[in-house]
Every structure is written in structure tokens, then in C-alpha cells.
A and B are shown apart, each in its own frame.
Chain A
Amino acid sequence: MTTDRGGRIALESTAPPSIEAAGLCWTYAGRSRPAIEGLTFRLEPGRVLLVLGPSGSGKSTVARALAGLVPHVLPGTWQGVLRVGDLDVAETPARLLGERIGLVFQDPDSQLVMSRVDDEVAFGLENRAWPREAMQARVPVALAQVGLSGFERRGTMTLSGGEKQRLAIADLLAAGPGLLVLDEPTANLDPAAMRATFEQIAALARVRRHTIVLIEHRLEAALPLADDVLLLDDSGRQLAFAPADAVGPEAVRLLERNGAWVPRAWQGVEAARTNETGAAETRRATEAGPLLLEAAHIRIAYPADESGTHLAIDGVSIAVRAGERIALVGPNGSGKSSLLFAMTGLLRPDAGTVRLRALPRDDEAGEPMRDPARLRAGEIAARIGLVFQDPELGFVARTARDEVSAGARAMGRGRGRDAHDDHGADGVLAHFGLGHLAAENPFRLSQGEQRRLSLAALALRPPAILLLDEPTFGLDRRGTEAVLRLLDDLRAAGQAQILATHDPRLLPACERVVALDAGRVVFDGSPDAFLAAPPYRPAAPWRDGVALAITSGTAAVAGAAGSR
């Protein structure tokens, strides 16, 4: 927005700016190492920049710097120069930057401020003192730009995940910024919503009225949009800045070595083929183990509102056997979380039954199937475990070591502290690559470390059935592989695993896919059959998303569906 002396508002976007960084370096207050270091590049106006790098490489810090949150809102030390058009970021007040730059974050639930859609779009305009008439004219236009016309009076919390992210993009388009910064905008979305969001970004990129900076793990979708690529290593140093089609094999090797996802388009055909054979081998047919969990005709209703009663789960039956790894997939809101909770007995279904039991030992016939809601906490822990998408919600102890031994203690052979368990805990931590963090507070670990600790916490006395909600959310390739290797270890003893996930890349690492839609099972079969004909409309995003598949326990980055 520009305001002339008469106070009139120009509704057009500001012109797309160039971005110029010279020796840019930022250290958050209280950290010894910089988050980003020595960034030096020039992005021409109207181009799309894709920022790539493994977890912890400072990608989000780049986004924050462009929006002026660093250095103007968050404390820390700034060195070097960052210019957006003719503005020097370090010397321009945040509110002036805010008129030229729009930022979309990862989590839709913590960036929408208002409870109604039209108020939400207007919020940023109100902050920038737009006159009421200009806002009333602008809000519907911005909503139309992202395909949300007619949503004005809807509650923001009633939108789907994909709609929320499109609304966040409308928020930023409304103010007419020349630079759009999108920080993993599809991380929380199912494949169809992700596809729709990328189409939205592609449409914006085509008109060239904005300079766009995109930070994305989902490279297959993001790379075709990019004009230029900025590669960062795992300590925030610039590895390369180059046009997207000129990225050579060295850059790929750099990325692989740094643990980032690498687009298949950049890999040799040879590598892909080898890895496909590898995939076939690891996906060996497991012989059917003993039955561990049986859920029959489960129905779960949401709390009633004006529009009546809705079912989160509508007649789901599922049987799980020892040693199975099942991918539980479905769009946002299809009932995956409700089903996981029902399996643990913590959410009592309105109808239907859940029965489960511990792993039978070789010499036993096994215990009878039991209702988890009737088990004592210690008994449940031996039979079923749940790893949450946000591992922090599950931590119970002050140190990583206690976190690992706490579960075992609660399951209760000895009372109180047990030297044997502590010793075991250190072994587990070492195995999970957390040995040096044994005395650290779980809340202070990085995202990837927290995820591994949440698995380590179940390793000393592994439950017979392990449920995982989005186990690879936000992890780079290295983190994802680490999680899968650990799952392989746990499964070797016969554990059954159910992975609720949006990430089609995990499917080839499972033997069985159970697909939910609107609370019903719409598919139950092999990953190959699922990928051949995904039971969703549109099906393409689910099928294509697997292109970056990684296979169980290997470092392969290949596509099971890649040959299609």
C-alpha cells in the first residue's frame, strides 16, 4: 500500500523488489552459534527463490529476516547487509517493511488471529490504517484471489487445513506486498490440500507481480516453481546460490551429505533403479503374526451442535497382527486421530469394541484379548503406546535419561529408582543418537531430537502395538531415515506399528495401507495397490506425492511410483 499526501490509497501491489544479501549473519540471543552465516546473493525482481537445507539450517531465519522480524522483533546479533528493493532491512522500521513484505507460516492454527474470515483478512489492513471503504473493497478481492469467495462469514476454525493456508495467503495478498515469503506453508496439509496450495503459489508465480521466497521440504512440488535455489548446510552457511535448472551434481551431493531431501529430478536414473530393487527387498512379505488388536464396528460422534450430530468415525473395523507396519492415511479431518485414541481405550467409542493384548511369548498361547479401557495404566503401557505429532506433549521427566527410564519404572518391576534401568536408559539413548544429551531437559532438544527421544522413551519396555501420529512431521531426510531405522529395530521383536501420516513417502516402508475418508475405511491393502488407484478425488496428489519415497532402513531416495 502506498499513501500519497492526500491520504489516498493505491490498491495495486508495490512493485516486486530485488533481494540482495551481503555477508548476512544472525545469531539469536542466548545462542553461541549463528543461525545463518555469510549469506551473499542477489535475487532479481519477480523471481521465485527456493530455499533448501536440512533441519536446523536456518531456513526459517531467512524468512524472518526478510520480513524484518529479525532483527526488529526477535532479539539477537545482526551482521552484514540485507536489502529488499531499496530498503535496508536492518535500518527500516518493521512497519514499513510490513507494507512491502508478506509472510506465511507453517502452522495454520497459530497464524490466524480473528474468528471470522473477513475480519481475518482485514486484520492486517486495519493494522496498516487502511480506510474502511478501501478495506471493504479489498477483502472480497483478496478472498477471490485464493478461491475463497463466499467464505466471508465463515468461522476461521471451521475451515479445513488447506482452506486455512489459502486464507493466510489471502491475508498477505490483501495488503498488496511486492515480496511474498512462504515458510513451509504445506507442512500440515494432506496431499490434496498441499496440491491446491501449490497451485495457488504457482498461479501467483506466473503473473510475476511478486518476488517469491519459498521454503519447502516437498521438493517435487516446489522445484518446478523455482527460478533460483539457495542451498544451506546444517549450520546455516550458504552452500550455493544458482538458477534452479543449473544445479549440478555437486550441489546434489552437498545436499545429500547434509541430510536434506533431494529432488528425484536431480538424481541419476541409475541410482533410482538400484533403490527400487532395494525397496522391493525390504518390503518382504511378513508372515502373519498373532492377532494383537481387534477393533470392531467403531463409531465416534463429535459433540453435537446446531447442525446435528456428526460422526468422526463411522463403523470402522480393523485387525492388527504382530510385526505388521500399517500406514493409516486420509485427508485432514477424516478421523485418523480419533481412531488412534479409540485404539488406546482413552477415547471410549459411542459404539463398537476394541480388544488388544500383549505379545505372546514363544512358549505360550498368549493372553486373552482385553478391553484397554479396563486395564491399569501399567498394563496398558506394556500393550500399546502412542507417539504424538508434537512429542513435547508426551514428555514426563526432567532429563532425557529419566524420560527413557520413567516408562519402564512405571511398568513397575522395581519401585523407585533402579540402577539397572538407568544403565539401560543410557544404552538406549546412545543407540538413538542421544547419548550426549542424557542430562538435557527434553523440552530443550531440537525437533528431530525430541522425536527420537519420544521413541527412545518406549524402547526399554516396548509396547506390543505402537501408534505414531505423523512420525516424520517436519523432519528432513536424515531425520526421517533415523526414525524409520529405529522403527525397524522395534519391529524386529514383533511389535505392530501403525503410522498415521500425510506423507506418501512413508507408504513404501509399510506393508499395508488403511485409508480413511469421512470416518470410514475406503481402502485396506498393499501400498502398491493403494498408489495404483488412490481412493480419493482427486487421486493424483496422493499418487505423485510418493515420488520422493524412502524405503525402510535404507538411505534410498527413490520413487516406488516414480516410473509412472
Chain B
Amino acid sequence: MSVLPAPLQPVRPAFLTRVTPVARLVAGMAWLVASIVTLDPIVPVRLILAAVVALVLWSGLPLRRIPGRLAPLGLAIVSLTAFSILLSSSNGDRSVAAVVTLGPARITGPAIAAGLAVGLRVGVIALSTLLVFGPSDPTRMADSLVQQWHFPDRFAYGTLAALRVAPFMAGDWGTIGAARRLRGLQPRSPAARLRETGGRLLAMLVATIRRAERLALAMDARGFDSGIRRTHFRELRTTWRDWLTIVVALAVAAAALALPR
């Protein structure tokens, strides 16, 4: 019984679903770098706008479900921004005029700018991750890494298999917690709670290792990693779409950095 929400998957064909995953990875990295090389909050704002346009027009993802999925992260970004502003060292700089003064606490303009820059960068990371990984399933990412970047099969498909075990871990974690509560274990003190979590982790680890062993045996039985050079059922080739995506992403990153305010 899983409580995980269904993964976001493209619901219609779109430009980015036909771009190979490694090209999207390069594009995403470009934006990531652009958003962290400067402290000016205008750069992440521009990148976020570009990312939203790309998500709406070219990702093929179900747009109505995206806000719900990003909501917890949005909350984290807001609190991160607020704390960055409140705790900024430039608040203590008496030579800068305070924007807000609350008793002994004062907040300066530079503090607000720095805080916004931190929060907005996390926003860029979240949205570009969605653009990199959202338009295709993890299998295509593994295919792409192996075929285009010549990652070892063992690493790429091994990781993929591990990803398949992950949802079961979430299920097991819930089941184990339920089992322990039903057995009457309800730790009160922090120490007891820590011990309890340790026991729960151990049980989950055992379950996960057993599952992984079974999966590894099944993969061995089907000839995985037996020393033969694997072939590929689904061919991924670099196309003009990949180059276009990378060039546009680089251009957007450059524009976000260089355009006058």
C-alpha cells in the first residue's frame, strides 16, 4: 500500500519530450550555473520566468498538477528567504539605511536583495530539475547516459533498478511504523524515540536488502552484466532538437546575466 503521489509524467507530446535527457541535463546545468554566479536577484527572476514559459509551452507535463507538487518546496523557499533576510549580516551595517525597523531589529535593502537571491535560486533549481527529469522517465535518462555519454551499464541500469526499489522502501517504512505502534510501542522520551527510529530503520534496511538481493538475482538470471557488450532496444541519437535546446538554454542564461536591469 503506497502513499506516494503518482509521478509527474508528460500527458501530451511536446518538444522537450523529444529532446534526449542528456541534452536537457546540459541545458539545466547552464541555468544552474547562471543562477549562482551572481548575487543579483534579477538573474534568477529572469530564469524562473523562462522556466515557466518552457514548462507551459514545451514540457508536456500536466500543468494543473505542477503547483500542487511544488507547494511544499514553495513553502520552504519562502521560509528560507525570510530567514536569510532576517539573519543577513548587512542588517548590522549602520552605514546603510534601514528599510524596516522593529525595536532593536532593523532590515536593510542589501539584506532583502541577498535573501531574495538565495530563495529565488532554489526556485531556479526546482524548476530546471522539473524540466530536465519531468519530460521522460528515468529509464530514458539511463539509456541516454549509456548511449550518448558512455556511462557503464552496470552503473546506469544498476541505479535504475535501485530506483525501482525506492517506492517499496516508502511503503515498508509506513508498514513498519504501523506494526510498531500496533504492538504498543509509543516512545515518549527523546532517547526512546531515537531508539525507536533506529529499530524502524534497521527493519526497513533488512527488508530493502532482501528485496534488492531478489532483484539482483533476477537480473543475473537474465544475463545482466555477464561480460557481453549490451545492445540497446531503444536508440537515442543526438538530433538538431538537442542542439537547439542547448543553444537556446545558453542564450537565455547569457541574457539573464547580461541584460541591463
Q: What is A's interface to B at a CB cutoff of 8 Å?
A: 64, 67, 69, 73-74, 93-95, 98-99, 102-103, 105, 107, 109-116, 118-119, 122-132, 135-136, 139, 157, 171-172, 175, 303-306, 337-338, 341, 344, 346-347, 376-378, 380-382, 384-386, 388, 390, 392-396, 406-407, 410-412, 443, 457
* Of B46-54, B79-87, B212-220, the one with at least 4 CB within 8 A of chain A: B212-220
In the complex, are the beta carbons of B179 and A393 less than 8 A apart?
A: yes
Residues of A close to B3: CB separation below 8 A: 303
Q: Known contacts being A110-B211, A346-B178, is A119 close to B233, with CB within 8 Å?
A: yes
Residues of B close to A175: CB separation below 8 A: 222-223
Residues of A close to B222: CB separation below 8 A: 98, 113, 123-124, 127, 171-172, 175
Bound-complex Cα distance A428 to B22 (A) = 60
Min distance, Cβ A416 to any Cβ of chain B, angstroms: 12
Q: Known contacts being A116-B137, A344-B178, A386-B178, is A139 close to B223, with CB within 8 Å?
A: no
Can you report 28 A-B residue pairs in the complex whose CB atoms are below 8 A from each other?
A95-B226, A95-B228, A103-B221, A105-B214, A110-B215, A113-B157, A113-B160, A113-B224, A115-B137, A115-B139, A115-B164, A122-B233, A122-B234, A125-B233, A127-B226, A129-B231, A132-B235, A139-B233, A172-B222, A376-B186, A385-B183, A386-B178, A393-B175, A393-B203, A394-B179, A396-B185, A396-B199, A406-B185
In the complex, are the beta carbons of A396 and B180 less than 8 A apart?
A: yes
Residues of B close to A94: CB separation below 8 A: 220, 223, 226
In the complex, are the beta carbons of B226 and A410 less than 8 A apart?
A: no
Min distance, Cβ B198 to any Cβ of chain A, angstroms: 11
Bound-complex Cα distance A381 to B183 (A) = 5
B 61-102 to A, binary, CB cutoff 8 A, 1 in contact else 0:
010010000000000000000000000000000000000000
In the complex, are the beta carbons of A128 and B235 less than 8 A apart?
A: no
Q: Which of A123, A125, A132, A457 contacts B183 (CB 8 A)?
A: A457
In the complex, are the beta carbons of A407 and B183 less than 8 A apart?
A: yes
In the complex, are the beta carbons of A126 and B231 less than 8 A apart?
A: yes
Bound-complex Cα distance A502 to B112 (A) = 62
Q: Known contacts being A119-B139, A127-B223, A303-B6, is A346 close to B182, with CB within 8 Å?
A: yes
| B130 interface contact, C-beta 8 A | no
Q: What is B's interface to A at a CB cutoff of 8 Å?
A: 1, 3-6, 9, 11, 62, 65, 137-139, 157, 160-161, 164, 167-168, 172, 175-176, 178-186, 199, 203, 206-207, 210-211, 214-215, 217-235
In the complex, are the beta carbons of A67 and B221 less than 8 A apart?
A: yes
Q: Which of B62, B139, B214 contacts A111 (CB 8 A)?
A: B214
In the complex, are the beta carbons of B6 and A95 less than 8 A apart?
A: no
Among B175, B179, B224, B225, residue most surrounded by chain A Cβ atoms (within 10 Å): B179
Bound-complex Cα distance A393 to B180 (A) = 9
Bound-complex Cα distance A116 to B172 (A) = 23
Residues of B close to A126: CB separation below 8 A: 230-233
Q: Known contacts being A73-B220, A111-B214, is A129 close to B230, with CB within 8 Å?
A: yes
In the complex, are the beta carbons of B232 and A132 less than 8 A apart?
A: yes
In the complex, are the beta carbons of B186 and A378 less than 8 A apart?
A: yes
Q: Across the two chains, which residue of chain A brings its CB closest to B172?
A: A393
In the complex, are the beta carbons of A118 and B179 less than 8 A apart?
A: no
Bound-complex Cα distance A412 to B184 (A) = 9
Residues of B close to A384: CB separation below 8 A: 182
Bound-complex Cα distance A123 to B221 (A) = 11
Q: Across the two chains, which residue of chain A brings its CB closest to B210?
A: A392
